[in-house]
């Protein structure tokens, strides 16, 4: 692990470590995207290197996850070559009390939803700041769209009561481009009272590939907190 005294980083390390500790030998693991999941990938690699884990293969959800897996010595496979996924570990941008999620802050939610939904067990790793009473409270809803359909999709999202905005790159001129070569529209909804219906409705808009609502997918939420200046991990 990275040597640090920063409580927030230590907390992410502990959450990632707690998730990675649940991985068993002889399993296929979905490898998610994001800063906390990166620590889980690192710790899985360390367990493999020490011999604590054997016969693990990973299915990456993004180019970032693929690079990290290779860095830490985790063998990779593809969905074409496997019949199941035993466990997936991934982060989230929001988690509600029913374990529904908003994901897509890293623009990887389409691949993440494919992998996470296939897993027998999906473990979500977050800090306590990601817990909300209702989805959409603190984070915009990402919608991945094929480039030619951006304008008509934005009109449809407005008709649904959303306020859409094309996600632009940071330190890059132009929009964010996903690993699939598509664009991301971030949508503000004042009230997501029925996440399952909204998820299906948005995905039925022509030109939409996938949106960041993950309804009924997560099994275990591991929450990192800082209590009395020390990192703590709890489950719900």
How far is 112 from 142, CA to CA, in rounded Å? 13
Catalytic residue (choose from 14, 66, 94, 112)? 112
Q: Is 112 a catalytic residue?
A: yes
How far is 35 from 17, CA to CA, in rounded Å? 13
Query: Strand 85-90 relative to strand 27-31: parallel, antiparallel, unpaired?
Result: parallel
Cβ pair 207, 155 in contact under 8 A:
no
How far is 188 from 191, CA to CA, in rounded Å? 9
Q: Give the torsion through C-alpha atoms of 11, 13, 19, 24, to 10 deg.
A: -150
Q: Which residues pair with 143 in a beta bridge?
A: 185, 211
How far is 81 from 157, CA to CA, in rounded Å? 37
How far is 105 from 212, CA to CA, in rounded Å? 9
Nearest CA to 88 out of 129, 17, 37, 26 is that of: 37
Nearest CA to 166 out of 179, 199, 149, 135 is that of: 149
Active site residues: 112
């Amino acid at each position: 692990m990275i040597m640090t005294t920063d409580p927030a980083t230590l907390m992410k390390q502990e959450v990632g470590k707690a998730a990675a500790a649940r991985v068993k030998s002889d399993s296929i693991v979905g490898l998610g995207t994001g800063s906390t999941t990166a620590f889980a990938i690192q710790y899985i690699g360390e367990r493999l290197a020490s011999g604590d884990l054997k016969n693990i293969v990973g299915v990456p959800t993004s180019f970032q996850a693929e690079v990290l897996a290779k860095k830490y010595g985790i063998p990779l496979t593809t969905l074409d070559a496997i019949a199941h996924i035993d466990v997936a570990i991934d982060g989230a941008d929001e988690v509600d009390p029913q374990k529904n999620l908003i994901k897509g802050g890293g623009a990887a939610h389409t691949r993440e939803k494919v992998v996470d939904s296939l897993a027998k067990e999906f473990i979500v790793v977050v800090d306590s700041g990601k817990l909300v009473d209702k989805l959409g409270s603190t984070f915009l809803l990402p919608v991945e769209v094929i480039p030619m359909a951006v304008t008509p999709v934005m009109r449809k999202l407005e008709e649904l009561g959303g306020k859409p905005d094309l996600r632009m790159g940071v330190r890059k001129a132009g929009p964010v481009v996903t690993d699939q070569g598509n664009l991301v529209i971030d949508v503000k909804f004042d009230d997501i009272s029925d996440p399952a219906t909204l998820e299906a409705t948005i995905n039925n808009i022509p030109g939409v590939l996938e949106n960041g609502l993950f309804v009924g997918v997560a099994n275990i939420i591991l929450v990192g907190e800082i209590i009395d200046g020390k990192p703590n991990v709890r489950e719900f």
